[in-house]
Structure 1
Amino acid sequence: MNGAPFLLALAAVLDVAANALLKKSDGFRHRLPGVLALVLVLGAFGLLGLALRSVPLATAYATWGAVGLVLTAVLSRVLDGTRLTPTAWAGLALIALCVLVLHTH
């Protein structure tokens, strides 16, 4: 087994962290979080590119997106107190399930 799933998960984590920093930058009024966000996005795309060596584009992008969505929802809950309805959580679970199905085919 190769390290592509790990690379995809790490790419998603970097992307979520970049988005959190981008919010913290307040439209780049605070430059340090904004610059760090750009660096993390570059890292995320670099890891995605490495994962694409052994994972089809559709599978890789779906995985990155699903992990990013779930992590963003959790992070938003922790940092901002955002509450999602049970239906929203079910939707996130369905997205994750769809990605799992995509990985099996």
Structure 2
Amino acid sequence: MAFLTLLAAIAAEVGGTTAMKFSDGFSRLWPSVLTLVGYVVSFWLLAQTLKSMSVGTAYAIWAGLGTAAIVAIGMVFLGEGMTVQKAAGIALIIVGVVVLNLGGAH
């Protein structure tokens, strides 16, 4: 259950970050509101996750998967390019999350 809550926290953070891109420096109301809501929900869900998961593991997964998701959204929907460095970074994030889970993350 903690992992599902963590995935929801990641989704809320990714939604908030994506909305931030469209807020135009917080000058557009609704994307700015969605940014705020996304981050509040994300931190609340992350806090719930921390009741049953170690803070280091939860934060590493939250930050890593969130970063990888934002890179993917940027490439697919916002026309951002993929470089060898970006691909290597995403691969390292995925390997890191797998190693954390194999090492007894839960």
TM-score (norm 2): 0.90
| Alignment match, 1:58 | 56
Name the SS of the counterpart of 1:75 in structure 2.
helix
Q: CA deviation at 1:86?
A: 3.2
Please list, as runs of the form range in 1=range in 2, the aligned pairs for 1:75-90 lying within 5 A after superposition. 75-90=73-88
Structure 1 runs of 4+ with >3 Å offset:
none
Q: Is the 8 A contact 2:49 2:58 kept in 1?
A: yes
- The sequence identity of aligned pairs, in percent, is 35
CA RMSD of aligned residues (A): 1.1
Q: Is the 8 A contact 2:9 2:41 kept in 1?
A: yes
2: CA distance, partners of 1:33 / 1:93:
30
Q: Aligned AA for 1:91?
A: G
Structure 2 unaligned residues grouped into runs of 5+: none
TM-score (norm 1): 0.91
| Alignment match, 1:8 | 6
Q: CA deviation at 1:100?
A: 1.6
Aligned length: 103
